[in-house]
A = this chain, B = another copy of it.
Amino acid sequence: MPESIDAPRLSLTSSEMRRLADHVVALVIERFDTKSDSPIGKRPTKAELEGLFAEPLPAKGDDPMRLIDQAVEQAFGNTIRVDHARYFAFVPAPNHFVGAMADALCAGFNAFAGTWMVGAGAAQVELTVMEWLRQIVGMPDGAGGLLVSGGSMANLTALVAAREAVLGEDFGHGAVYLSDQTHSSAIRALKVAGFAQRQIRVLPSDKSFRLPFSALQAAVSEDRAAGLCPFCAILNAGTTNTGAVDDFETIVPWARSEGLWIHADAAYGGLAAVSPNQKPKLAGLGEVDSMAIDPHKWLYAPIECGGVLMRDFSLLKRAFKILPDYLLDKERDAGEVDFCDHGIQLSRSFRAFKVWLMLKTFGVEAFAESVDHNVRLAEVAGERLVAKGFELAAPPSLGIVAFWHPEADSAAHRRAVDRLIEDGFAMASSTQLKGRTALRMCTLSPLATKEDVEQTVDKLAQFVLASRSH
């Protein structure tokens, strides 16, 4: 056999590794040190990036230090900083340094969290983390779940488990109910899971942007009368548009008596329950059958980190477990949890580690204080907005405020978003509410200050008025 079989391949020495790692660490620390000071980032057009990175498959190698610098400038440098203290658009992603270091360790160790056989220690940590998350959102003892990539996968995982548990293989007669404020990932999840458009009832929200109980009751009765099987309602704990929270306390007990599965999309708002001051706003949430949560939102974990919680944990396995011959080795003891049997992924990274490390490093009280700060900042924004002549679409809720200026048209609102990006100080985004264009701020960053929020409002006021068509 050829000599070369044991020659080093793709190899780096310890000192090359050290040099590369030091460079990455310096870049990451600089990134964290500039979360409040740097410009918000760039939104280049396709034409501006055309040609960048467009090259043939490289035959030979290059210096990774130089390549990283190129990427920091041309790839990362051509994005908007979702981790910035004044990124108030969409839903911010204010990752914490401790979580980032946890991800770095997992990538370096290539931790595998799919089976107990290979990743027992990782599974044990995930069990602990899911138990903590269960307690935070107030689900009953015995509820459980797993971590996934984010809210989209959490909604999909829960809704497939619900479909299997309630309807089984033939689900063409099932109907699902949700308000027009529900996140698009829930509708996409239903499509992926094979539901036809005619099975998905999107109900108009009320003036508080909540699912109207009476409309839900009426739709369910109507469908039953038509021979359909109403099987699931999706409620929101913190809508993306306005932070609205559906009326869990009223709807869940009724739904249970009707045999309806209640899934909560709590990806945005659920983990606000870590604060005793916010938990009452989510009253009744813990009683749902399944829930999507997102530690990469309010626990400040780096993306990706979502979670699914099920009132009956065993339903995940019922929906997802398939045991092929080549995995028979892993089957030993029913008490050993193979998380790959409870969701869609087989190869799974050890997401629980970052959540564990952050909660252990700071304790829940620090997170509670930070969540209260985030919620208060949206109220601060609301006060300033009113002072600047804006109208609020609804009272600020769970760190989100939506608003419009009565003297400016839709186009002016949308142009203000662009102007804010060009200005570089901050970012906000727009949406449609009751047929009207609104601006939104989501004050999720622990680093954002009262001044950050107020100055952003002032700039928005300036840009909205300056952008009016004359």
Contact = CB atoms under 8 A, between A and B. Distances in A.
A165 interface: no
A403 interface: no
Given A75-B124, A328-B430, A328-B431, A10 B347 contact: no
A107 B60 CA distance: 28
Given A31-B108, A67-B361, A336-B46, A192 B160 contact: yes
A370 to B, nearest CB: 4
A214 interface: no
Nearest to A274: B57
Contact of A121 (B20, B76, B99, B116): B76
Interface stretch (A244-252, A255-263, A279-287, A351-359): A351-359
B333 A105 contact: no
Interface stretch (A166-174, A226-234, A308-316, A462-470): A166-174
Contacts of A304: 345, 347-349
A4 B328 CA distance: 55
A425 interface: no
Contacts of A359: 57-58
A323 B184 contact: yes
Contacts of A32: 14, 17, 108
A347 to B, nearest CB: 4
Residue in A24, A324, A350 whose Cβ sees the most chain B Cβ within 10 Å = A324
B12 A79 contact: no
Contacts of A184: 322-324, 327, 346
Contact of A109 (B31, B45, B300, B325): B31
A25 interface: yes
Contacts of A107: 95, 99-100, 103-104, 107, 302
Nearest to A150: B347
A136 interface: yes
A46 to B, nearest CB: 4
Contact of A20 (B24, B33, B53, B101): B101
Interface stretch (A138-146, A216-224, A373-381): A373-381
Given A347-B296, A449-B6, A360 B121 contact: no
Interface in A372-393: 373, 376-377, 380
A82 B420 CA distance: 47
A284 B368 CA distance: 57
Given A21-B25, A44-B121, 15 more contacts: A10-B366, A14-B29, A17-B29, A24-B104, A43-B117, A58-B359, A67-B361, A68-B105, A76-B105, A77-B121, A82-B118, A90-B118, A149-B345, A150-B348, A152-B347
18 contacts: A10-B367, A12-B98, A17-B29, A42-B120, A71-B125, A71-B357, A76-B122, A78-B124, A79-B118, A80-B118, A82-B118, A100-B110, A149-B347, A150-B347, A169-B197, A184-B323, A191-B320, A303-B348
